[in-house]
Amino acid sequence: MKSYVEWYPIIIMLAIDFALSISNILLKKIIMDGMNHFVFITYRQSISTVFLAPIAFFLERNKRPKLTPQILCYLFLSAIVGASLTQYLFLLGIQYTSATFACAFLNMVPVVTFLMALLFGLETTNMKDRSGRAKVFGTLICLGGAFLLTFYKGKPLIHFSHLKDLSQTLEEPISSSKRNVQWIFGSMILFAGTILWSSWFLIQAKIGKKYPCQYSSTVIMTFFSAIQSAILTFSTDRRLSIWIPKEKIIDMLSVVYTGLIGSGLCFVGMSWCVKKRGPVFTAAFSPLIQVMAAVLDVPILHEQLHLGSVIGSVIVIVGLYFLLWGKTKEMQKVSQETEEKKEKELNFQVHEATDEPEIP
């Protein structure tokens, strides 16, 4: 029975990756149907808030610390960086590239987070140790793959000559050069979203120390994000018609799925896996989202699969696993040193107790 339990985190992460890959495909469908980006984010975050609120209330009602203005400011900033603006840039990036390509940029998040943590002193690297060299080497490989993804599109590997390419965002045909410009522009948008999403992890680390209730903090964050997105929507377009999906049934089901599953259950499942196996284990599964999205993207949305995307994605995944391997070895070494230190302290205390003279 114990052996089966050990497989639970792996099974859950595979299910989460599959669910998130479906979310990315649905995002592309919603964009092509013309739904306003901020309207979609507002709906998605609102659904996530309503779904997670009861869970947070019952599971954390007896251990929630007091909400101070400082914590609320952190959560408000977290909503902007991690939800509202990041999701908008991700949606905009999909519009100019493809869902599969956008997933490849998401695979860079652990690498960018690692670099930012080094910059702010939250992460250290010892180049004399194999784990330190692996982290740096993996980071450089990932950056190389990211540049290849951005500036080299390559020839399409699969052709759908009889079907309209859903990555075509304009009704009129556009030239190859203009399409390449759109691809590079979309890549820059996705990279900016990656920077913001990586920044969210650093902010979340601060929130975790001051307000260690992940369900409650997530509910507050998604609530702030929904409010922010709604305000941005009304400030850019005040037409009430944009709040009504064109493809009512399909689009609303997509919104419900991405809110309930993509922003709700998936985050709960990932949080559980982080608790059971640690963040390195959980992050190691992120490249599978891209692979699954590619498998679904081509036959369902008839996206063109380009050589540059395949090569760049493989390089990013290889670099990511170098980084994760180095991080895992480093954590194992730190854990071993901590255990040895505790054992020495315990032996010292026992030795002192045995050396005490007996009182007659």
Q: What is the pLDDT of residues 124-142, one digit of tens each?
A: 777 778 888 887 887 788 7
Residue 274 confidence (pLDDT): 67
Tokens representing 144? Answer: 């190389």
Per-residue confidence (pLDDT) for residue 1, from 0 to 100? 47
Contact (CB, 8 A) for 148 and 315: yes
* Residue-level pLDDT at 100: 63
Tell me what pLDDT residue 329 has.
79
Q: Which residues of the chain have pLDDT under 50?
A: 1, 162-172
pLDDT of residue 38: 83
pLDDT at 88: 83
pLDDT of residue 165: 47
Q: Which of 257, 292, 212, 232 is nearest to 83 (CA)?
A: 232
* Distance, CA of 91 to CA of 108 (rounded, Å): 17
**Which one, of 306, 275, 337, 279, lies nearest residue 113 by Cα?**
279
User: How far is CA 211 from each of CA 50, 72, 176, rounded to the nearest angstrom?
Assistant: 20, 10, 51
- State the pLDDT at residue 223: 92
Res 162: pLDDT: 46
pLDDT, residue 113, reads 76
